[in-house]
Amino acid sequence: MPSTTMTGTAVTTATTTTTTTLNLKGSSSSSTSSSAPAAKSTNGSGSDDLDIYDEIEIEDMTYDPTLQIYHYPCPCGDRFEIAIADLRQGEDVAVCPSCSLMIRVIFEVEDLPAEETKG
């Protein structure tokens, strides 16, 4: 965070930056630390090569019928979220909007709540 010192008519501003270096093996070093465990690398059946933090059964998640999303607590303090419409289309990765962590949701499409009809 910038700090400002005022002396007479002169103003001095100092800024602190954080540098992150990524090596070829995928591990990173940074001047900041995280209490979250390292993400698991999965070789799932999908063509995408994602780093998945954990795999969670949908029964362990909370469903919000108003927002039509499932959510689950994230180690960063926020929560992983995935829309029920995405689940119905076969998407199984929930993301945290505050950090880079992702979880894989274990579920069966036929076990999802019934689609609400309008009208």
pTM of the model: 0.58
Percent of the chain with pLDDT over 90: 48
Q: Give me the mean pLDDT over the 31-38 stretch.
A: 42
Token duo for residue 28? 């990173």
Whether residue 47 is predicted with pLDDT greater than 70 in this model: the reply is no
DSSP state at residue 25? T
In order of start, what are the domains of the chain with their CATH numbers? 36-111 (3.10.660.10)
Question: Can you tell me the distance from the alpha carbon of 91 to that of 83, in angstroms, rounded to the nearest whole number?
Answer: 9
Whether residue 80 is predicted with pLDDT greater than 90 in this model: the reply is yes
The predicted pLDDT at position 118 comes to: 63
